[in-house]
A = this chain, B = another copy of it.
Amino acid sequence: MTEPLHALLAPRSIAILGSSADFRKVSGRPLKHLLDKGYAGKIYPVNPRYETIGELRCYPNVGAIESEVDLAIIVLPASEVLNAVRELGAKGVPAAIIFSSGFSEMGDAGRQLEREIVASARASGVRLCGPNCLGLINAFDKVLATFSQYADADTPSGPVGFVTQSGAFGTAIAALARRRGLGLGYFVNTGNEADLNFAEIMAEVIRDPRIKIGAGYIEGLKNGDDFVALADAAMELGKPLVVTKVGRLGAGARAAASHTGSLAGDDVVFDGVARQHGVIRARNEEHMLDIVEVLAHCDLPQGAGVGLLTQSGGAGVLMADRAQELGLSVPVLQPDTQAALQKVIPGFGAVGNPVDVTGQFVADPNLLLESVKLMLADPNVDVGIVWFQLMEAHVDKLVKVLVEIRAQVSKPFVVCWVAAPEAGVKALRENGIAVLRGAEPAVDAVAALVQYAQVRRNWLARRDERKAISVPALDVPHAQVVSTMEGSRLLTQLGVPHARSLLATSADEAAKAARTLGYPVVLKIESPDILHKTEAGGVILKLTDDETVKQAFATIIARARQYNANARIEGVIVQAMAGGDTEFVIGLQNDPVFGVVLMAGLGGVLIEVLRDVAFRKVPLTPSEAEDMLNDLHGKAVLAGVRGQPPRDRAALTQMICAVSRLGAALGPRLATLDLNPIMVGEKGAMAVDWLLMLEDAGGAAQHAPKAASG
């Protein structure tokens, strides 16, 4: 039997269950497309109503087919699908695509039926794509197992593998790719993903050596581990993954939930994990295709220096602005580059970067050739953007000179051609030159290229870092709310710096603890039933002698009783005052898609008002922790504001790594951990408050509501 995913994507034989002789119908279109486009394998229509369809014998059922079948396309009413899958199992068919709808997208009854189908398929070794999907195309091998409109015209093969969770949107994206001359080697719509999910199918797609880039449209992931495995495999293969994922905000999530059976997951977590694993996230469909086109035609640049060459100063400004917003560098060209440019460019042009060659290049194409070459030869330029407009009358001349440039330079460049004549765009693309339609989209796509190149360089340099992470075995408490002292024990075991703390059960013990720790100290109520300590009046700061400590002990106990008469009061925590003046927050939570993830952000207004946080999957390498800090909009605070010295970033990255190992060690037992605040100074960082909540030892991890600390 063929390996099921290979059978799905590159079948040697296809059975169509419910095949119709009417080629206009959904049930007739796969056969039509397979015949029209010249599929070379065997095709077996299955439908008891026909003896033959066209020149093909039509079978009453799958069992009647005498040869092996790699792939079955199921175009039957929902009620007949379960039985069909059973027949496939009996026949030993390794893979099936279910077009039919009427399953989990239709509520509980559909969901139940879908589950039964998956159970039957798993029992007999059949892997499923769908249900409720448009099917797939393998354009290399003319496998047209789809009824998507996209197949109604040419479906040229090419280095892009496209997998989409949405049929309608995915069809549009595929059509847009075709208009750009971007060949889709694969087009797959995964539908309800009852069995095979987006990541599993994309992983198989990029395994094909004819595929160089994976492009994906995601509404919600079913399995975070599969996605991470996909991302890592893509990085290993050196094949970029570009995805657009909808559901960034609340109302979006509402619509996503109504559309598919999947949980939208927490988008900010997806974003963090994608960054962590080098997946390029595009804002929308055009942005994705811009990036794919640039990746398809350009080598990876060696750095972030962009050379901008235009015939309009304004376009240069627009691109320079955008480049800087996206963290690219627009280096002033070196004096000798400028001097050389000055010899070829008219006096009213500009040679600094952006380079303005003026409209003169129309009369003198050599001017364009020479100036692009000079700009790209500048040692600080890693990638170029050449901007011009319209030029109905000069298409051939322009194409010729750009193709010449492409042949003569080694650094990557793209063309931004505004209001371009179609013939010019087509000719450039056929010659392997990426063409963008606007200045900002051009810079956006080049930025993605530069960032991917950087991510890949980092990945190559850091690939051993991950192996060095050691996750300890822990003696995990059984309580749901872990006590301060138990939490302290775990933090100590993992090497997470935190304020020294002692539990006191009497005023005298408190004073003794304070002397042990050294004044000044803080007193905090300790009770598994009082999580909002400040709200309960259970925190008193800056105590400087035995007498005030004893008074504070009594005050805190009294307030706690008043706040919650039934609270189990275990005593009062006496804690040394922490140094450092910049607040930071690190948290852990159990994400339903990705498992334990770590959140980091600067405290105060940045986290409370601007939600300026970064997420990553645990455990983290030091470089990944550094990346997290760089993701924060307010990161300049760590560099020192208004002449202050920088805060201790190294201490923070170490702390992030240590907490991430704690998260990995706790695994499904973790509900949430908040280290809030962490005080960061010029030297060192120290958690002042920690609240660890666990899941029952027996139960599965659920996404628990985040509890506030302090």
Binding site for B on A (CB under 8 A): 101-102, 105-106, 132, 149-150, 152-153, 165-169, 171-173, 175-176, 179, 217, 219, 246-256, 258-260, 283-286, 310-318, 320-321, 323-325, 330, 347-348, 350, 352, 354, 356, 359, 388-393, 418-419, 437-440, 602, 604-606, 608-610, 633-634, 636-637, 641-642
Contact = CB atoms under 8 A, between A and B. Distances in A.
A324 B106 contact: no
A354 B247 CA distance: 13
A388 B149 CA distance: 13
A382 B320 CA distance: 38
Contact of A315 (B153, B169, B258, B390): B169
Contacts of A609: 634, 636-637, 641
A325 B249 CA distance: 8
Contact of A348 (B101, B352, B388, B437): B101
Name the residue in A106, A418, A438, A636 with the highest tally of chain B Cβ atoms < 10 Å from its Cβ.
A418
B390 A149 contact: yes
A169 B312 CA distance: 6
Contacts of A256: 313-314, 317
B605 A641 contact: yes
B637 A149 contact: no
Contacts of A359: 168
Contact of A347 (B106, B252, B259, B418): B106
A306 to B, nearest CB: 10
A304 to B, nearest CB: 13
Q: What are the nearest 8 A-B pairs in CB distance?
A: A259-B313, A172-B389, A168-B312, A175-B419, A252-B321, A246-B317, A166-B314, A172-B418
Contacts of A350: 255, 258-259
A633 B610 contact: yes
B321 A260 contact: no
B255 A320 contact: yes
A608 to B, nearest CB: 5
A16 B388 CA distance: 29
A82 to B, nearest CB: 19
B317 A255 contact: yes
Name the residue in A102, A389, A439 with the highest tally of chain B Cβ atoms < 10 Å from its Cβ.
A389
Contacts of A315: 166, 168-169, 246
Contacts of A283: 440
A386 to B, nearest CB: 14
Name the residue in A106, A132, A283, A286 with the highest tally of chain B Cβ atoms < 10 Å from its Cβ.
A286
A177 to B, nearest CB: 9
B605 A313 contact: no
Contacts of A440: 283-284
Given A169-B315, A633-B610, A284 B252 contact: no
A176 B149 CA distance: 29
Contacts of A636: 609
B313 A258 contact: yes
Nearest to A352: B258
Contact of A252 (B260, B318, B356): B318
A391 B314 contact: no
A137 to B, nearest CB: 15
Given A325-B249, A418-B176, A356 B317 contact: no
Nearest to A329: B251
A372 to B, nearest CB: 17
B419 A348 contact: no
A251 B390 CA distance: 26
A324 B252 contact: yes
A438 B284 contact: yes
10 contacts: A132-B348, A169-B389, A246-B321, A247-B321, A251-B321, A251-B324, A259-B316, A260-B313, A284-B439, A605-B605
Contacts of A169: 312, 314-315, 389, 418
A585 to B, nearest CB: 13
A248 to B, nearest CB: 4
Contacts of A310: 168
A246 to B, nearest CB: 4
A106 B605 contact: no
Name the residue in A150, A179, A315, A440 with the highest tally of chain B Cβ atoms < 10 Å from its Cβ.
A315
A246 B317 CA distance: 6
B438 A251 contact: no
A260 B317 CA distance: 11
A394 to B, nearest CB: 10
Name the residue in A252, A356, A392 with the highest tally of chain B Cβ atoms < 10 Å from its Cβ.
A252
Contacts of A321: 246-249, 251-252
B166 A312 contact: yes
A111 to B, nearest CB: 13
Contacts of A247: 317, 321
Given A101-B348, A252-B324, A165 B314 contact: yes
A380 to B, nearest CB: 13
Given A253-B317, A605-B634, 12 more contacts: A149-B391, A169-B418, A171-B419, A175-B419, A246-B315, A247-B321, A252-B324, A259-B314, A284-B318, A286-B437, A286-B438, A605-B637
Contact of A171 (B102, B172, B390): B390
Contact of A317 (B259, B390, B439): B259
Contacts of A317: 219, 246-247, 252-253, 255-256, 259
A331 to B, nearest CB: 9
B605 A356 contact: no
A629 B352 CA distance: 39
Contact of A606 (B149, B388, B605): B605
Contacts of A285: 418, 438-439
Contacts of A393: 149, 152
Contacts of A173: 418-419
Contacts of A246: 314-315, 317-318, 321
A709 to B, nearest CB: 12
Contacts of A318: 246, 252, 284
A286 to B, nearest CB: 5
Contacts of A175: 389-390, 419
A674 to B, nearest CB: 14
Nearest to A256: B317
A324 B250 contact: yes
A684 to B, nearest CB: 21
Name the residue in A169, A323, A325, A391 with the highest tally of chain B Cβ atoms < 10 Å from its Cβ.
A169
